[in-house]
Amino acid sequence: MTVSTLERSHRRVAVRESTNPYENALHQLEIAARHLELDPGMHEILKYPQREITVHFPVKLDNGTTRIFTGYRVQHNLARGPSKGGIRYSPKTDLDEVRALAMWMTWKSAIVNIPFGGAKGGVLCDPKVMSMGELERLTRRYATEISILIGPETDIPAPDVNTNPQVMAWIMDTYSMHRGSTVPAVVTGKPVSIGGSEGRVEATGRGIAIIASEAANQMGIPMAGASVVIQGFGNVGSIAARSFYERGAKVIAVSDAIGGLWNPNGLDIPALLECSHRDGTLTTHKGGEPITNEELLELPCDILVPAAIENQITTANAHRIQARIIIEGANGPTTPAADRILYDRGIFLVPDVLANAGGVVVSYFEWVQDLQSFFWEEAEVNKRMEQMMVRAYKSVADIALRKELDMRTAAYMIGVKRVADAATTRGIYP
């Protein structure tokens, strides 16, 4: 592996550390566009979301007061099909974050070659301090506000940070009430009882382990006994931890928003899952030493999985990362400037747009099942997902090796080219 091609690319596209996710997304697009020699007009089209909406809406709280909340929905590109992307509830979300996430969803869908464009949504709130009743009222009102954009043939939401199958059920029901008939295909990631897919909840975490196995095999690292560190123990990180554990890997450190645990001999993942479910945090478990999220990222290990939030690996800590492989479970956990440092140091990184695409793959399966009203067994879902993930990985790895590129640039070249080709073939209306 050499660094010459990447160095030339970054000389042509100046690297500047930024924690603005949309700036980083645009920078990543620019690198791919230069490698593809993309038409400047098409590059300009792909830089901007096709549609975005900001909504301000009232919600009555349990104490009788009314509060105004702000929400967003952004559709980045629809050239390859209806837009697809999650909805997050976070006190830190903003429009630039949602724009970046929507763009990343466009590339992600194209890289695994499913007929979706990218979208994302968010509501500025702290769900941890809200009751179930307040969350339901907030969700239904937000769904009503964005109902002018979403639909099974236009834009299909899914769970993301701090949202779950119940939130998707409320959105589906709200949309269906407005339409006067049940429309299960309007969202994915909903409960199986109302049209959800078997295997959807586990899909992103399971997909991370599949991609990690491919990367480890390429790097000559046996998965059995490989040391794994995971930042983030929500739906993605916890299921990834279980999947690694089941594959014989040694998960030596994990963390949630409160803190983490480290045991160089390996953590008891089933016990940690039980503890996290029972106590709402894994830090009460006694099977390891306390460790901060910052310290966790710098532990020596074979595989590091940042599965929390964006901007976790930056120029401030990239020189101290000791993992041999990084599998990005979260969206945007590594800044472009840190990418260059990691590549120069020989650390093999599989980007988010490939590594965590298992969720959108099975979301696609759920959408297809809803439209057909014909549902698959979990074994079939898992088999089809693994086939698509492995095929996508091999395509990206082949380009990276042939062109001496980092995996992110190789993945973007595939995704951006597929979207650009679709947009060119369709033409510009009118």
pLDDT in tens, 364-396: 999 999 999 999 999 999 999 999 999 999 999
pLDDT in tens, 244-289: 999 999 999 999 988 899 999 999 999 999 998 888 888 888 888 9
Examine the fold and report which residue of 355, 370, 385 is the final residue of a domain before the chain moves on.
Answer: 355
Residue 208 sits in the same domain as residue 349: yes
Residue 209 sits in the same domain as residue 177: no
Domain that residue 90 falls in: 48-183
Looking at residue 103, which CATH number applies to its domain? 3.40.50.10860
Residue in 294, 288, 290, 289 with CA at minimum distance from that of residue 306:
294
Residue 225 sits in the same domain as residue 166: no
61, burial (CB in 10 Å: exposed 0-12, middle 13-18, buried 19+): middle
- Considering the candidates 120, 128, 190, 394, report the single residue annotated as catalytic: 120
Is residue 301 domain-resident? Answer: yes
Whether 149 and 77 have beta carbons less than 8 Å apart is answered as: no
Residue 227 sits in the same domain as residue 166: no
Residue 215 sits in the same domain as residue 108: no
Q: How far is CA 176 from CA 22, 140, 152, 183, 412, in A?
A: 33, 11, 11, 5, 36
Block residue for tokens 């928003």: 257
Residue 62 sits in the same domain as residue 166: yes
Examine the fold and report which residue of 329, 355, 381 is the final residue of a domain before the chain moves on.
Answer: 355
Domain count within the chain = 2
Is residue 170 domain-resident? Answer: yes
3-state SS assignment for residue 378: helix
Q: What is the largest CA-CA distance in the chain?
A: 64
Is residue 391 domain-resident? Answer: no
190: annotated active-site residue:
no
Residue in 198, 157, 205, 160 with CA at minimum distance from that of residue 355:
205
Checking DSSP bridges between strand 51-60 and strand 66-77, what pairing results, if any? antiparallel
Sign of CA dihedral 169, 174, 177, 178: negative
Whether 111 and 357 have beta carbons less than 8 Å apart is answered as: yes
Cα–Cα distance, 262 to 295 (Å, whole number): 10
Checking DSSP bridges between strand 66-77 and strand 117-124, what pairing results, if any? antiparallel
Examine the fold and report which residue of 355, 379, 395 is the final residue of a domain before the chain moves on.
Answer: 355
Structure tokens at 397: 């790895």
Is residue 379 domain-resident? Answer: no
What does the pLDDT profile of the chain (430 residues) look like in tens digits? Answer: 333 444 444 444 555 677 899 999 999 999 999 999 999 999 999 999 999 999 999 999 999 999 999 999 999 999 999 999 999 999 999 999 999 999 999 999 999 999 999 999 999 999 999 999 999 999 999 999 999 999 999 999 999 989 999 999 999 999 999 999 999 999 999 999 999 999 999 999 999 999 999 999 999 999 999 999 999 998 899 999 999 999 999 999 999 988 899 999 999 999 999 998 888 888 888 888 999 989 999 999 999 999 998 889 999 999 999 999 999 999 999 999 999 999 999 999 999 999 999 999 999 999 999 999 999 999 999 999 999 999 999 999 999 999 999 999 999 999 999 999 999 999 999 8
Is residue 227 domain-resident? Answer: yes
Is residue 140 domain-resident? Answer: yes
Residue 259 sits in the same domain as residue 332: yes
Looking at residue 207, which CATH number applies to its domain? 3.40.50.720
H/E run at residue 53 = strand 51-60
Is residue 406 domain-resident? Answer: no
Residue in 254, 210, 256 with CA at minimum distance from that of residue 228:
254
Can you give the pTM of this predicted structure?
A: 0.92
